Amino acid sequence: MKNNVQYSKIIAGTMTWGNWGKSLGTEEMVRLMHHCLELGITTFDHADIYGDYTNEEQFGKAFSKSGIARNGIQLISKCGIQFHVPNRANRVKHYDYSSDYIVGSVERSLKILQTEYLDLLLLHRPSPLMRPQDIAEAVMALKKAGKIRQFGVSNFTPAQIALLETMVPVEANQVEFSLTQNSAMHNDMLLDALANKRMAMSWSPLGAYFRKKGEQQKRIKKVLAELTGKYGATDDQLLLAWIMRHPARVYPVVGTATPERLSLAARAVAMQMELQDWFLLLEASEGQEVP
């Protein structure tokens, strides 16, 4: 990455901590935060929309009671998506990247997360109407005020990033990347991160393996059955190790709120998958040899 902020290799995704998933109470969130820190997971990934705009506030209440030092964790959040929900005056789902909206969204996130700054702000998804000069104005103002330390994007193509970089540096990109959904390797998203020293993060790093049965899952499961004994690892650890083998040094954003699965994810960091095992899994995913 282009600067000195340090993030944990496994990032705790908070999307399912609230009412989009486990509906954890304050004390449960406090315990889960401490569990993450015990594992060396110090980075927490948010978005303003999670829980229909409620997750950040719930996390902030827990954080304020946790006794955890702010400089001991890193907070990431995203903005830009506007949902059609009862607590917002939106008539349709859309994106808003006006300077005022970005600044206002960050200030709201800071207030309810009960923090003075975000380590990293991401634009959640690209908008066909985004203007680089508006985004740059907001980002520069937020950085100058110390309200964000870094700026990046999520789900942006290299061309969209290049457009923004005519006005403002982009330091990270969070994209969908897994063994079952690996298009980021073929559409230059990961190559862009590698070439430009951008932080590459993967959302849904386990892909559809545990969610969708079919021929692809059967092929992958057969290979994983051979590798679990070799590496002394679980299926989910091998799927994470596969991602982290990529030279873009991808940071998986692990969305589970289950302590045991977070523990497994943390231990996957030390795994070194062999080259041919990596390609065996890719072949299983694609259903054919690499070209």
Q: How far apart are CA 44 and CA 273, in angstroms?
A: 26
Q: Are strands 43-45 and 74-79 parallel, antiparallel or unpaired?
A: parallel
Q: Are strands 81-82 and 94-95 parallel, antiparallel or unpaired?
A: antiparallel
C-alpha pair distances (Å), 58 with each of 4, 18, 52, 61, 121: 29, 7, 12, 5, 19
Q: Map residue 175 onto helix, strand or coil.
A: strand
Query: Which among 7, 50, 97, 209 is annotated as catalytic?
Result: 50
Active site residue 251: no
Q: How far apart are CA 95 and CA 135, in angstroms?
A: 13
Q: H helices within the chain, ranges in order?
A: 26-38, 50-53, 55-66, 99-113, 132-144, 158-164, 189-195, 215-231, 235-244, 259-268, 275-286
Active-site positions read 50
